[in-house]
Amino acid sequence: MMAIIHLVGVRDDGAPGFPSNYELEQTFTTPAFNQEFGGDWTTQRKALYRKYCGEPIYIENVSKEWDMVGGSHGATVLKIVCKI
């Protein structure tokens, strides 16, 4: 199977940056991410896959690649694998 991989960053204001080994295609603040992809984790994965890959939707191909939680300031790298 061939695939295209998208890496997207989401971070709270005041959170440290992302690890340098990730080349992020796009970054969002947490409020901007919630506005565009709001809902529970299943709903967010559907919306992310639709935006970056189109239809049909494979939510199992959206995962957290890296996650740092530090009190109220967190950052996450999401990996979206599009089947082609």
- H-only helix segments in the chain: 30-37, 41-53
Structure-model confidence comparison of residues 71 and 22, the more confident one: 22
Compute CA distances 34 → 3, 22, 57, 73, whole Å: 26, 22, 20, 15
- 54 vs 2: CA distance, rounded Å: 16
Average pLDDT (31-42) is 95
* Structure tokens given for 56: 């049909």
Rg (the chain; Cα; Å): 13
The whole-number pLDDT of residue 71 equals: 66
Q: Among residues of the chain, what percentage have pLDDT more than 90?
A: 80
- Among candidate residues 1, 4, 2, the one with its CA nearest the CA of residue 52: 4
